[in-house]
Amino acid sequence: MSGPADRPATIEDVAKLAGVSIATVSRAIRTPEKVAESTRKKVTAAIARTGYIANAMAQSLRSGRSKMVMVLTQSIADPNFPGILIGLEKAANDRGYGVLIGNTEGTIDLEQNHMQFLTSGMVDGLILLTGHIPVAGRPKAPATSFPPMVTACCPVGDAALPYVGVDDVAAAKMATEYLISLGHRRVCYVAGAPSNAVSDLRFEGYQKGLAEASEPIPPWSVEGDGSSEGGRAAIERLFIKDTLPTAFFCFNDNTAIGVISALRLRGYRVPEDFSVIGFDDIPFASNITPALTTVRQPRHHIGEIAMETLLNGLSATPTGTKTLDATLLHGDLVVRESCGPVNNA
């Protein structure tokens, strides 16, 4: 559908076709969450039929909002990232927002480039998946000096920021208890990098699981770096010692895959000789041999809640105070083939 002489469709054309007022069309475009779903569908259908394109720049100038959110991540290659992004984009699209991805690769220079979108007003808020407040250009600036931010998956330890993620402590405790239920009493935690806050939380849960066993079990850990190569290296360091564990609880699935690879290269069988459990349930976890027992993160749900938390904060009336708002989601134990009863032979 087009107007006389093929003129560009107007908001009046959309309103007439949808059978609603111009104000309702405008509201459906700018704040769709405030419009009934049936009305929103009629407006969307009318926009599609007329070919009407809202002037986003003009709307932005009038509202003082760009209707864009930036997601800052250390690496889009992180196997957890696609699932989180799906949840983020779904929640953003439902509210009429777009998403920009800032991939920093852990470098200050790239972070600085992405931060220009914030300082120029091109985005309204920020979702942090990096585990730290942006340091580019102002390393000592408090979180309150930035536009609204929500951190997800990795906490930054700042009480001014809402956090959304899996309950790492509870999930790690559950994984450890599962190994103990199989008879394992020498369970080694293969950690992430020393500065990784998530690894520390999972180690805390692992320690709780050991401490609450019928007979308390001493903790045992070896350092990794979150990669499969780090898992392989951890095994090589352990085999220098006289005593070996019977089970490994790994910081993440990549580490667990490296652990299994190193054990098999040495001629050991998993789970007959050693049990291995991971964390995250990345897509590859079910495709290795043996299929990896792990803890599944609700990635889509984390993304959705993180975006909803940010957008709710953007639409709320400022109160002058900010408090920590942590949303911790349940992790699910996914039992596959890499864990078995302890081999006492």
Radius of gyration of the chain, Cα coordinates, nearest whole angstrom: 25
**Vertex 82: Cα angle to 81 and 84 (nearest 5):** 65
Can you tell me the mean pLDDT for 179-199?
95
Average pLDDT of every residue of the chain:
86
Cis peptide before 271 (omega within 30 of 0): yes
Checking if the pLDDT of 80 tops 50, the result is yes
Q: Which run of H or of E encompasses 250?
A: strand 247-250
Which among 311, 327, 341 has a CA at the least distance from the CA of 124?
311
Three-class secondary structure of residue 321 per DSSP: coil
C-alpha span between 80 and 218 (Å, rounded)? 31
Lowest mean pLDDT among 133-137, 310-314, 322-326: 322-326
Checking if the pLDDT of 320 tops 90, the result is no
**What single-letter amino acid sits at 333?**
L
Checking if the pLDDT of 61 tops 80, the result is no
Q: Which run of H or of E encompasses 29?
A: helix 22-30
> pLDDT tens digits for 30-54?
777 788 888 888 888 888 788 776 5
Asked whether 59 and 25 are in contact (CB, 8 A), the reply is no
Three-class secondary structure of residue 337 per DSSP: coil
Q: Which two tokens stand for residue 24?
A: 């309702």
Asked whether 306 and 150 are in contact (CB, 8 A), the reply is yes
> pLDDT tens digits for 124-134?
889 999 888 88
Which among 322, 332, 314 has a CA at the least distance from the CA of 147?
314
Give phi and psi for 276, each to the nearest 5.
-135, 130
- Write down the pLDDT at residue 323: 47
Give the CA-trace dihedral at 201, 286, 296, 211, to 10 degrees: -50
C-alpha span between 310 and 278 (Å, rounded)? 30
C-alpha span between 9 and 250 (Å, rounded)? 58
Position with higher pLDDT, 163 vs 49: 163
Can you tell me the mean pLDDT for 245-255?
97
C-alpha span between 46 and 250 (Å, rounded)? 53
β-strand 332-334 against 294-296: which pairing, if any? Answer: antiparallel
- Write down the pLDDT at residue 208: 97
Checking if the pLDDT of 312 tops 60, the result is yes
Three-class secondary structure of residue 316 per DSSP: coil
Can you tell me the mean pLDDT for 241-245?
88
**What single-letter amino acid sits at 290?**
P
CA within 13 Å, CB half, 147: 23
C-alpha span between 171 and 174 (Å, rounded)? 5
- Write down the pLDDT at residue 313: 86
> pLDDT tens digits for 98-131?
898 988 887 777 777 777 766 666 788 899 998 8
Token pair 């250009």 is found at: 137
Q: Which domains does the chain have, with CATH numbers?
A: 4-54 (1.10.260.40), 65-165+299-329 (3.40.50.2300), 168-297 (3.40.50.2300)
The model carries a pTM of 0.78
